[in-house]
Amino acid sequence: MPKTVMVELGGATYTLTQRPIKQAKAWRDALRKPFGQLAATLEGAGKLELTSGTDLAGLVQSLSGTLLGSVDILLDLLFAYSPELAADRERIEREAFDDEALTAFTEVLRLVYPFGQLLALVNGPAGTPTSSK
């Protein structure tokens, strides 16, 4: 049974459903591109002389495309994950706010990266610590 989460965008509540492994993998692959570009730009920044105005300007210009478009990238990824949201995209873009979209995107990340379950297994059941004397 797939997991579901409820998100609110522009006053409407939507149910997002966990996708099967193959679909989740395809979505994660799409997520890699914009974040890979950002990471590559930051990695190249280590070779720059930040005291050089030209190098600094180049870095800002390289980052600006990804950072300034990050909300739009996030929205595209959110709509790509959820057919329910994609079907209502026009209304969502007209009535919802960026922070609501970020919250919904975070919920999608929890569905496709279920590391919380792994951490619970690693930590084991909560119990009362014992002391050894």
Q: What is the pLDDT of residue 46?
A: 57
Q: What is the pLDDT of residue 50?
A: 53
Total number of domains in the chain: 1
* 3-class SS string, 100-125: HHHHHHHHHHHHHCCHHHHHHHHHCC
| CB 105 within 8 Å of CB 99 | no
Q: What is the pLDDT of residue 59?
A: 56
In a domain, 129, yes or no: no
Q: What is the pLDDT of residue 123?
A: 72
Q: What is the pLDDT of residue 26?
A: 94
In a domain, 83, yes or no: yes
In a domain, 121, yes or no: no
Q: What is the pLDDT of residue 33?
A: 78
Parent domain of 11 = 4-116
Q: What is the pTM of this model?
A: 0.69
Residue numbers of the chain with a pLDDT score lower than 70: 35, 37-69, 117-121, 124-133
